[in-house]
A = this chain, B = another copy of it.
């Protein structure tokens, strides 16, 4: 067995949790990574979930300028897609300087953030890394079954749920700039893993 370590981008949500578990089952040593831009300490929610699912957790503090630039794009566009895509690609580029195997919870039916096949190949070749998205072959119905089998989740409106994804800090910056985040992020149900039903 060759030693393999995977750094999994981790928001505390069900998708990144499930991705970590799939890679753990395949024999990877898991290191969860929550990216934070110093806007607020939202990474604490991911840390709680990391304790629940039992993998080591680190916070990667990145330059606030990056997320400010993402917010600039979102305010200019009037919708979050391009800004979040830019932020995720930038994060992957930065982490690729440090880590060899980087994973995230991107799912087959996700739209944003999601790298195209050629963006993935470019990232892997430019940085000589492996980028892994364990849920890319799973549709939402399959993921719902898996999540129901493994996790206790807390589901709330996105404004009310304490989570550690990009959106949480982006909304805070938008608020700080005197605008209403709801004008850019329509209400949607988000979820966070709060317990394990069964270990694998």
User: Which residues of A pack against B, CB within 8 Å?
Assistant: 1-2, 4, 22, 25-27, 101, 106, 108-109, 117, 120-121, 124, 130-139, 141-142, 145-146, 148-150, 197-198, 200
A101 surroundings in chain B (CB, below 8 A) = 142
A131 surroundings in chain B (CB, below 8 A) = 139
Which 5 A-B pairs give the minimum distances between C-beta atoms?
Answer: A136-B137, A133-B137, A25-B25, A136-B136, A130-B142
A1 CA to B142 CA in the complex, in Å? Answer: 14
In the complex the two chains form, is B139's CB within 8 Å of A132's CB?
A: yes
Tell me which of A106, A117, A142, A145 has the highest count of chain B C-beta atoms within 10 A of its own C-beta.
A142
A135 in complex: contacting residue of B121, B137, B145, B197, CB < 8 Å: B137
In the complex the two chains form, is A130's CB within 8 Å of B139's CB?
A: yes
In the complex the two chains form, is A149's CB within 8 Å of B1's CB?
A: yes
A108 CB to closest chain B CB (Å) equals 7
In the complex the two chains form, is A141's CB within 8 Å of B117's CB?
A: no
In the complex the two chains form, is A2's CB within 8 Å of B145's CB?
A: yes
A141 surroundings in chain B (CB, below 8 A) = 124, 130
A148 surroundings in chain B (CB, below 8 A) = 2
A1 CA to B131 CA in the complex, in Å? Answer: 31
A149 CA to B28 CA in the complex, in Å? Answer: 11
A27 surroundings in chain B (CB, below 8 A) = 146, 149-150, 198, 200
Name 5 A/B residue pairs within 8 A (Cβ), A-sorted.
A2-B148, A22-B26, A25-B25, A27-B149, A134-B137
A189 CB to closest chain B CB (Å) equals 21
